[in-house]
Structure 1
């Protein structure tokens, strides 16, 4: 038999590439045979390189001609023998297989209606249903790029969702469907959006305790940089995502300074306390905050269906002693409970707790009877990453959500968390001074204060969760 060189095989393969539907079984067999018979070594190549090249030719013929899968076992054995699991990856599915020599690995599983793609940083395979891929198509037919909204496909489930072809390079995945529609995704987009996804994608969250937060510079941005530089604002938002709080230093020591630093992040959120507010014992409101007493670590607005996203504090004046500010990372406290008592962690995650706020009409303000139910924390349903934290022993309502038989387990778990929060190693104390505006993520970090003497005037406000998170996404922080 005459020697057949690589170019001969390549031309044969390209014939099948041009007319894959016309490839007969004997043609597929021929191409496999030609690849196996290639014996013209290039002298500077190793035997292993020659074998890998032969295998790639055979695999290409298999993919192009819509192989029925009869070479499945031999192909897999050959891959293991030749490369021991080399970057040339070919996972045969018995349908139309597609291999990518550079970039993410892709393989089809038509019987299961699944596309298997390595899109995660650690190389784990994501099994993406064809239905999901078609539903999330970003073509002009499926997505309005002017309004950034989906165009509903009411016939999605009636369509043949098996791709006609799947192609991939090192950046993009392209699918041609049997009805002629074409879809393209970048692998980066798939990694960001396909289940389970991640809550914080661009800024890695840093849980902290007293020792960790004191081990380096505090998250702070000078007022002028925060106000007049996009990078300064981005740094403030990044601090909020990473640590759950940030400081704006060298601000005007006035309520107007508080407003400016806050509105740079998002519009001020109106509440029962108004927009921008001041706190002093002389005001006599129906709240522990308006006294000289110390306040343990807590989050605000637990009695609202959606608590404020950020709470802002700015000390304007204090002529006495005490009154240091307290911060505790609620996510770190929850994670500590998880490590020390996994059952307590599950109990707190799965138990709805009532929170309430009651106030009588006074000084022209209406009466309130607010109540909300929520677990102390919630998780991302796919990754298990902590999403929210809500803890306020002062506003915890009458416990009407726990069966009597489950009360001992709940109280044990709740006490465990309370003790972790109040441990000295959990608490970060800091003495605020006029000109330092403190912004705290109210869905993660608890705040409190020490008891104090004398006159103390604090300016502050709330910022909407949706508003500041939107700004963080726009800045590329989330």
Structure 2
């Protein structure tokens, strides 16, 4: 039997300290414990939704008593209420941390050009038939922001079958599906034979589509190799090389716009490097084709802002941060569009390079991933 944790109430009753086996300890405020109570009066036992609102939590709430009962912490409060919390849950959700501010959110792993593109490749039939393989593949997307599939039928619409494994299509003005191939009068530069610098898609939307899928139906053209770049790693490099420039790009909104198809006029005002109040990266938006006039930056800082913008894009073009691969018919890749940039080399006029794309949202992927993990743990 593993050793049990021990408790030490705070002198004034405003918090309690739990000493965990192994030497770690966590403090929890009385109001936090009451808010996260898991008894039936606090949380619906069927759907897990909380029944308490902030106005139900008394100001100055204090702990009157706390005991351990098996796998639960039982807590009584000075307003007469009583609740309990599962100890494993309590430890996983400890917020009394001293590990300092980190730029990269927990659970994300940054990478550079040494990432093995074949090492994040799986077979579509295996992913479709085996929940454990699906969980592994979705975990790559969630952790790295990038994964690949082979053996996807090279027929139009097959990308939708991949998305259906975990979630739903995010339909846009481009439709449920969009064709990435050269056109005589393109509404987007992606529909030409020219190379595309690494970029995130649709920064002119708020919110952006968080997942992008590209599925190869034919590739007989010369050139046109795909490349991906981890925007979170790029942001790390920029902050290390010039913290002031990182701060500029995360402080000020810029304008992104698209109105190229005659049916849409989409505009968003967001920072290129979005950082949360607690100092963690939320999203990168890098797309020079959609970047509009700079009006939100103070006059005296505009030259510095452009220097920072140029520095950021220069990092995205460094060979050591880019992973390059050639797509063959039946192959597909997905990127977390809030984080990973994608691009391509130019391709020849002879032969055909035809990709079919679609967007989805990462909340559905993470929901499926959580359910698969829970099933695996059971």
More helix by share: 1
Of residues 145, 158, 182 in structure 1, which corresponds to 2:45? 145
Paired with 1:120 and 1:398, the residues of 2 have a C-alpha distance of 57
Evaluate the alpha carbon distance shift between residue 281 and residue 326 of structure 1 in structure 2; reply closer, same or farther with a 3 A threshold. same
Paired with 1:261 and 1:206, the residues of 2 have a C-alpha distance of 24
Evaluate the alpha carbon distance shift between residue 346 and residue 131 of structure 1 in structure 2; reply closer, same or farther with a 3 A threshold. same
Question: Is 1:164 equivalent to 2:64 in the alignment?
Answer: yes
Q: TM (normalized to structure 2)?
A: 0.88
Paired with 2:220 and 2:368, the residues of 1 have a C-alpha distance of 37
Q: After alignment, is 129-138 or 301-310 more displaced?
A: 129-138
Please list every run of 5 or more consecutive structure 1 residues that lacks an aligned counterpart in the other structure.
1-100, 362-366
Paired with 1:141 and 1:330, the residues of 2 have a C-alpha distance of 44
User: Where do 1:270-309 residues align within 5 Å?
Assistant: 270-282=171-183, 284-309=185-210
Partner secondary structure for residue 296 of structure 2 = coil
Equivalent pair of 1:139/1:183 in contact (CA under 8 Å): yes
Equivalent pair of 1:209/1:427 in contact (CA under 8 Å): yes
User: Where do 1:2-21 residues align within 5 Å?
Assistant: none
Query: Which residue of structure 2 lines up, in the alignment, with residue 378 of structure 1?
Result: 274
Paired with 1:404 and 1:396, the residues of 2 have a C-alpha distance of 18
Please list every run of 5 or more consecutive structure 2 residues that lacks an aligned counterpart in the other structure.
none
Paired with 2:57 and 2:39, the residues of 1 have a C-alpha distance of 18
Of residues 35, 39, 55 in structure 2, which corresponds to 1:135? 35
What is the deviation of 1:252?
A: 1.0
Evaluate the alpha carbon distance shift between residue 122 and residue 390 of structure 1 in structure 2; reply closer, same or farther with a 3 A threshold. farther
Query: Which residue of structure 2 lines up, in the alignment, with residue 440 of structure 1?
Result: 335
What is the deviation of 1:165?
A: 0.9
What is the deviation of 1:154?
A: 6.6
Query: Which residue of structure 2 lines up, in the alignment, with residue 255 of structure 1?
Result: 156
Evaluate the alpha carbon distance shift between residue 117 and residue 351 of structure 1 in structure 2; reply closer, same or farther with a 3 A threshold. farther
What is the deviation of 1:126?
A: 4.0
Equivalent pair of 2:14/2:63 in contact (CA under 8 Å): no
Equivalent pair of 2:226/2:343 in contact (CA under 8 Å): yes
Evaluate the alpha carbon distance shift between residue 360 and residue 387 of structure 1 in structure 2; reply closer, same or farther with a 3 A threshold. closer
- Which consecutive segments of 4 or more residues in structure 1 shift more than 6 A? 119-122, 196-200
**Larger Rg belongs to:** 1
Query: Which residue of structure 1 lines up, in the alignment, with residue 318 of structure 2?
Result: 423
Paired with 2:139 and 2:34, the residues of 1 have a C-alpha distance of 34
Evaluate the alpha carbon distance shift between residue 190 and residue 354 of structure 1 in structure 2; reply closer, same or farther with a 3 A threshold. farther
User: Where do 1:241-390 residues align within 5 Å?
Assistant: 241-282=142-183, 284-361=185-262, 367-382=263-278, 384-390=279-285
What is the deviation of 1:327?
A: 0.4
What is the deviation of 1:193?
A: 3.4
- The structure showing larger relative contact order (alpha-carbon pairs under 8 Å, at least 6 residues apart) is 2
What is the deviation of 1:272?
A: 0.5
- Give the count of matched residue pairs: 366
Q: Deviations over 1:6-59 (max 9, x none)?
A: xxxxxxxxxxxxxxxxxxxxxxxxxxxxxxxxxxxxxxxxxxxxxxxxxxxxxx
What is the deviation of 1:188?
A: 3.1
Equivalent pair of 2:157/2:177 in contact (CA under 8 Å): no
Equivalent pair of 2:15/2:63 in contact (CA under 8 Å): no
What is the deviation of 1:317?
A: 1.3
Question: Is 1:226 equivalent to 2:108 in the alignment?
Answer: no
Q: TM (normalized to structure 1)?
A: 0.70
Query: Which residue of structure 2 lines up, in the alignment, with residue 30 of structure 1?
Result: none
CA RMSD of aligned residues (A): 2.7
What is the deviation of 1:112?
A: 7.0
Paired with 1:228 and 1:115, the residues of 2 have a C-alpha distance of 47
